Each structure stands twice: as structure tokens, then as C-alpha cells.
Amino acid sequence: MKDNGFPWPPPGLLGICFFFKKGIYLQFALKSSSMHMDERTTPNWCDNMVEISHVDPARVKCLAEAFRTGHFCNALVPVPEDLKRAGTTEINGENLEKHGHDSRYAFCGSKWETNREVGGDGSCDISDDGMVLSISFGSAWGPPLGVYAKLEEQGYQVRAYYYESVMGFAGIWSDGEDVRYSNWGNSHGARNTLPQDLDEMFGISASQAEYEEDAEDEDADEDEDADEDAPEGDGAHFAPPRYCPPHPPFVHEFQCLYR
């Protein structure tokens, strides 16, 4: 896999955000985006748009049915039955010795490269000649690259686009190769870094530009309010400027303020 940059923060890194207000100190820790989390963990969702083709329309139809019923990944890379009953220490130990993984989540994270199934929702269309399947879906933590590799082993051709906005990475899988982009910064960086088709597929730079414009308007409004509230005459006290440390694109949920 080619990686054109490094995501921030790196996958698995504990994200820390600090809030200071009126002398009260609070600390929030974001959970690691490990592939081996269980089903109770809410994942970051990755958007995917994929075209899969094969000369045999019957095989394309079979694949479409697996997607529509929510068994897309398992139809291509089946989860061993033993791993579906993971839970106790004894069973997990047996699974690890037999399959190299102690649970289905660990297996899926390694073999599928996403630890949850895809399909059952999203869009699914077959071309008029029956040889091209177009699907779009969300996947947990990242795209199912291991499934794409298995499809190509079986004679399918795959071209897939993906974008994960929280960790800030996107990429294209084509001809058995994954090219990933990250660390592009602002909307201008996105336009200069990402291939045009990938950028336009998910509206990445356009969405960032809209956010940046909204943030500038919000800052301008706050500055105007501060000027109106500021005391006049000698002895006027001005609060120190707001400080917000750098953060990756589209991670807006946490604002760091020091007043």
C-alpha cells in the first residue's frame, strides 16, 4: 500500500483533548481506533464507492445478492465457525492456537481489514449488460481491502474509492494496489493532494472549504462581540486570545479553549 502522508493522530494513538475554564481542569480521552475492538465500540465510519466487474453476469448477480443481504465480506472471506463462539478465556485460547485469532473481530480486522460486515444497506446496482456491480456503503474504521484482494484473486476487477473523515484519510484501490492519501491539511491542501476524481467523489475539499468559511464567520462574530463587551477607559482588562491546538480535518466535536 502506498501512503502519501501520515494520518494525525496515527491509528491507535490515544487522542487527548483538554478544556480549561474558570480554573477547572477536565480531560477527555478518545478511545483508540483499534481493529480489535468488540461490537460494543462505536467505530469511525469510512465511506466507500466501488465498481466490481466480471465477464460472467451470474457471478456478478451472486455477489450483488451477498451485498444486499449483508453478507458481502463473509461470502468472500468466511469467518471460521469456531470464532463465532468466542468469549471465555479457554475458548479464546483454543481459537488463537487453531486460527491465529482469538475472536471473530480480530479475524475480520486482519482478513477483511474492517471488523464488521458491510452491505444490507447503501446502494447496489447492476449494469444493463450484467457485468458491472456498483455499490456504496459505510465500513468500520477503514475500507475492506482484504475483501477486494480476494475478489481479484477470483477473477473480478475492482476499482474502489474510500474516505474516512475523522482520521482524515482517503484512497483508491485499483488493479490490486491501494494508494492512500492523508495529512493534506486544509481545503487548499486537499485540492492539491488528492486526485480530482477522489476529491469530487466525496466532496472532500468542498466540505472543508465550507467548514473553514463557517469557522471564519464564527471567529469574526466572536471578535465583534468581544469588542462590544470590552470596558472603556483606563484599566481596561482584555482576556488572552483563544488558543486551539492543531487538529485533523473534520474533527470538530472537541474545541479547546483557554480564557
Radius of gyration of the chain (CA): 23
Our measurement of the distance from residue 209's CA atom to the centroid of its chain's CA atoms, rounded to an integer in Å, reads 19
> 214 or 225, which is more confident?
214
Residue 150: which of 78, 61, 50 has the closest Cα? 78
pLDDT digits (tens, 9 = 90+) for 172-215: 999 999 999 999 999 999 999 999 999 999 999 999 999 999 99
One-letter amino acid for residue 183 of the chain? N
Question: What is the spatial distance between Cα 170 and Cα 191, in angstroms, rounded to a whole number?
Answer: 13
Question: What is the spatial distance between Cα 138 and Cα 143, in angstroms, rounded to a whole number?
Answer: 8
CB atoms within 10 A of CB 115: 28
pLDDT digits (tens, 9 = 90+) for 24-75: 322 323 233 334 445 567 899 999 999 999 999 999 999 999 999 999 999 9
Q: What are the backbone angles phi and psi of residue 44, rounded to the nearest 5°?
A: -75, 135
One-letter amino acid for residue 144 of the chain? P
All residues at 6 or more sequence positions from 46 whose CB lies less than 8 Å from its CB, including other chains:
114, 138, 139, 140, 141, 142, 143, 162, 163, 164
Which helix (H) or strand (E) element contains residue 89? helix 89-99
Which helix (H) or strand (E) element contains residue 180? strand 177-182
pLDDT digits (tens, 9 = 90+) for 101-118: 767 788 888 899 998 999
